[in-house]
A and B are shown apart, each in its own frame.
Chain A
Amino acid sequence: MSEDDNPQSKSRRHFISKLLMGGGLFASSALLLRHGLDYIFPSMESPPMKKLLIGRIDQIKLGEAKEVQVGESTLYLIRNEDGYKVFSSVCTHLGCKVNWEAHRNRFYCPCHKGIFDLQGNVVEGPPPRPLDEFKVEVDKNLVYMWIEEKSRRTV
C-alpha cells in the first residue's frame, strides 16, 4: 500500500496502463482492419491456365479467320504472317460482337463502326485498344489456345 501512496510510482503505473491500453487497442484494431480488408478484397491470384484445342493447321489458310466457340463465347482464330492468333470477338469499345469480313480482311463492329485489322489493331472508329488476344500454342499440326481454368471455385 505504501507504494501506492508514492505519487511517482502511481503516475508510472498510470502511464504504463495507459501505454498498454493505447498500444494494444491500436495494434489490435489495425490487425482487425487488415483481416477485414483481406476478406473484402479477395486475393487476385490468377486462376491456373489450361490449354484448349481449337483447330488443326490444315483447317485455315494464311489470311483466313475461323470462328471458334468456347463455351458461351465466340473467338476468332486467324492466321497472319506472324502465325496463328486468337482474338476475342468482343469489341473493345462497348462490348458488341465484332464480325469477320472475309472480303475486306477485317473485323467490323456494327455498333459504332469500329474496324480492326488482321493483327487485331484498331484501324478506324472509336475502339480505344486492339482486340483482346489469347496466347496461342502450335504443337505439330494442332493449334491450342490458353485460357483461364474455370471452376466452381469462383461460383
Chain B
Amino acid sequence: MSENNNSLSTQKLLVGIFSILLLIVLIIVAAVEMKQTHEPDLVVDISGINKSCVNCHTQKGIAVKAIDHWKQSLHAQQNISCTDCHTAEEGDFDAFYCPESDFLVAKHPTPKDCAQCHEQQVNEFADSKHAHQFWLIKNTDRSIFENPISTRHGCEQCHNIGNLWPDGSIGECDACHPKHTFSKAVARQPETCGECHIGPDHPHIEIYLESKHGNIFRAQEKNLDMNYSSKDGKAIPIDIPVCSTCHMDGNETQPMTHNVSARLAWESQSAWSFRTVWLDETLGNWEMKRSRMESICKSCHSPDFIGTYLLTADLVNFQYNEMRRLMVGYNKKLTENGTISRLEKDGKFYSDPLLNGWDEEPEYLMYHAWHHQGRRFRHGAIMMGADYTQWHGIWELQDDMVNMLKFAAEQGDTEAIKWVQSNDPIKFAPYALYDIPGNAFGINVLSNTLPYVYNAYPDYWERIEANVRTVYENGLLSEDQWRLWSKRCENKDHYLGTKYNADSVYKIYTDRDVIDTKAMNKQAVELKLPGKPFWIW
C-alpha cells in the first residue's frame, strides 16, 4: 500500500514537472514569430474605362509589359491609371483614336500631364538647367560637324530630357522615372544619371563610381532601399549618397528639389569656369546655392572638411581658367595673324577662335582642352574623382598646351619658339597659379617638400595669396572661404607638414628604395643577352 502510494505520488510529481515543462515551451512558442517569406502582393483594382484599356491591350498583346510595369507602380496602388495620364482632347498634338475604338487618347503624356499632381516637381525641373535648351541657343556652329541622322540617336536622345513640347511644357519625366513604374528607386540609381552623364566629355558616373561614395554604394547597394520618400524633411535614410542624394534629396535642413541647379555654385561645364547666375533672382546667388549643397554634405561630413574640400575644388576651377586663357590667347593670335582661319559661308562664321573649331590643330586642341579634358579636370576635383583630375585632366590639358605651343612654334611664332627652346623647368607654368596649403584629408609631412615652385620661388605664397585675394575681392570666393584660406596660409608650416620632422621614419624608406633600385638595375637594366638583335641597326 505504501509503495503504491509512493509511486502514485511520484507520478503526480512527474505530471507536475511535465506540465511545467509544457508551460515553458508554450511561453517560448508565444515568443517566437515566423519570418515572412515574402511581402504579400498588394491587390490592384482596375475599374471603369481602364478595365477596357487593360483588357484590350492584354488581348491584342500590345505593350502588355507596360501594363505589368504600371501594376507595380505606386500609381496603380492609388487608382491612378491609364486615362489619368493618357488623357487627350480633340485637337491635342498627340491625340489619336485607339484603333477599333472610340477612345481618344494621348500618345505622349507630357510634363503638363504629370503636373496635374506633381506640379511642384515639374516646375522645379523647368527651372533647372536640365530644361535649359543651351545647345540650341549656343551651338549653331556645332551642327556642321555631325550630320543630323547621327544626332537623332546621339545627342538628341540625352538632350530630350529638356524636350520642348508643342503644348508648351518642358522636360521628359520618364528620362529618369521609367514608365510605367515611375520608380523612385530606378530614378535614384546612379546609372540612371549615368545614361547621359558618362563618357569623355563629362564622365560623372565614372567619377562617382571611382569615388569613395560610389565604391561604398556598390558594396552596400543590395542592402539599400532606394524607394524612400524625401519630401518631409526627414533624415536621408541611406548611409551612402548616390547622385540624387546630394543634388536632389531633402534632409532635415534642405527641402527636396527637382531643380538640380539649385545646389550648384559653378558653371564648370562651360568653356570658362564662372560662378553661376542661373535664376539668381529666385534661387539666390552662387553662395546661396553652395550653402544648400553644404547642408546636404553636413548630413555626413564636418564643416571644416566640407569647406576645405570644396575650396580646393573651387581653386581647381580658377586654375582651369588660366590654362584656358593661354589656349584661347594662342588661337586668337594665330587666327588674327592668318596662320589658321575660321569656317565661313556668306559672311557667317561657323567656328569661333574663342570657343571651337574643327579643321585645324589649335582649334581642335582648344576644344578638347575645354569640352573633354577641361571638364574632367574640374568635375573630377569637385566629385572626388582623383584619376579624372589627374590623368584624364591636368595631364591631358598640359599635353594639349604643349602641342599647341609646338604647333605655333612650327608656324614661326617667336614666343612659342622661345618656349620650345627654353630649358627652364618653370616653363610648364606659363600662366598664373592658385594653391592651398595642404588638403582636406590630413597632413603629409613629406609631400610638400617636393614641388619645384615651393623650393625655387621664395615669394611663391605671396604671389598665390595675391591671386586668391583677387578672386575673393571679385566675389568669386565667399568671406568664409577667404578666411579659411588665410587661416591655412598663416599656419602653412602646419598644413604643409613642413614644421614636422619625420626624417628617421623617412630614412627606412629611402634605404629600401636604394635596395629596390639596385635590384631593378641588376635584373633588368644591366642584363645582357648573348643573342644578337634580328634587325641590325
Contacts and interface: CB of A to CB of B under 8 A. Distances in A.
A–B interface present (Cβ within 8 A): yes
Interface of A: 4, 13-14, 16-25, 27-28, 31-32, 35, 38, 50-54, 56, 69-72, 140-142, 144, 149-153
B12 A17 contact: yes
A20 B78 contact: no
Given A52-B78, A53-B117, 7 more contacts: A17-B12, A24-B16, A54-B79, A56-B116, A71-B45, A71-B46, A151-B42
B490 to A, nearest CB: 55
Interface in B22-43: 22-23, 26-27, 29-30, 40-43
Contacts of A153: 40
A13 B10 CA distance: 9
B84 interface: yes
A71 B9 CA distance: 66
Contact of B19 (A24, A54, A69, A142): A24
Contact of A20 (B20, B40, B77): B20
Given A14-B9, A69-B48, A71-B45, A35 B78 contact: no
Given A4-B6, A53-B80, A152-B41, A20 B47 contact: no
B42 A149 contact: yes
B55 to A, nearest CB: 14
B41 A24 contact: no
A56 B116 CA distance: 9
Given A35-B26, A71-B47, A25 B40 contact: no
A4 B16 CA distance: 20
A25 B12 CA distance: 11
Per CB-CB distance, the 3 closest pairs between chain A and chain B, nearest first, are A20-B16, A24-B19, A71-B45
Contacts of B43: 71, 150-152
B29 A35 contact: yes
A21 B19 CA distance: 7
A8 to B, nearest CB: 15
Contacts of B48: 69
A53 B78 contact: yes
Given A24-B16, A151-B42, A70 B117 contact: no
A14 B16 CA distance: 12
A14 B79 CA distance: 70
Contacts of B23: 24, 27-28, 31
A142 B387 CA distance: 50
B78 A51 contact: yes
22 contacts: A13-B9, A16-B13, A18-B12, A21-B12, A24-B16, A24-B23, A25-B19, A27-B19, A28-B20, A28-B22, A31-B26, A31-B27, A32-B22, A32-B26, A38-B30, A50-B77, A52-B79, A53-B84, A71-B45, A140-B119, A141-B116, A150-B45
Contacts of A141: 116
Interface string B41-60: 11101111000000000000
B453 interface: no
Q: What is the predominant secondary structure among interface residues of chain A facing chain B?
A: helix
Contacts of A16: 13
Contacts of B279: none
A150 B41 CA distance: 9
Given A50-B78, A52-B79, A150-B42, A20 B13 contact: yes
A51 B43 CA distance: 14
Nearest to A145: B79
Contacts of B19: 21, 24-25, 27-28
B519 interface: no
A60 to B, nearest CB: 16
Nearest to A27: B23
Nearest to B6: A4
Nearest to A15: B9
A134 to B, nearest CB: 12
Contacts of B5: 14
A79 B109 CA distance: 29
B45 A17 contact: no
A25 B78 CA distance: 53
A56 B47 CA distance: 17
A73 to B, nearest CB: 9
B502 interface: no
Contact of A24 (B15, B40, B42, B84): B15
Contacts of B13: 16-17, 20-21
A98 to B, nearest CB: 19
B238 interface: no
Given A50-B77, A69-B48, A152-B41, A24 B20 contact: yes
A21 B15 contact: yes
B17 A20 contact: yes
B36 to A, nearest CB: 10
A88 B27 CA distance: 44
Nearest to B119: A140
Nearest to B47: A69
A20 B10 CA distance: 11
A35 B31 CA distance: 11
Contact of A25 (B15, B27, B77): B15
Nearest to B77: A50
Given A24-B17, A150-B43, A142 B117 contact: yes
Contacts of A14: 5, 9, 12
A152 B23 CA distance: 34
A88 to B, nearest CB: 15
Interface in B112-171: 116-117, 119
Contacts of A152: 40-41, 43
B410 to A, nearest CB: 67
A35 B78 CA distance: 38
Most A CB contacts (10 A, CB to CB) among B26, B80, B116 go to: B26
A57 to B, nearest CB: 12
Given A31-B27, A53-B78, A17 B16 contact: yes
B288 to A, nearest CB: 28
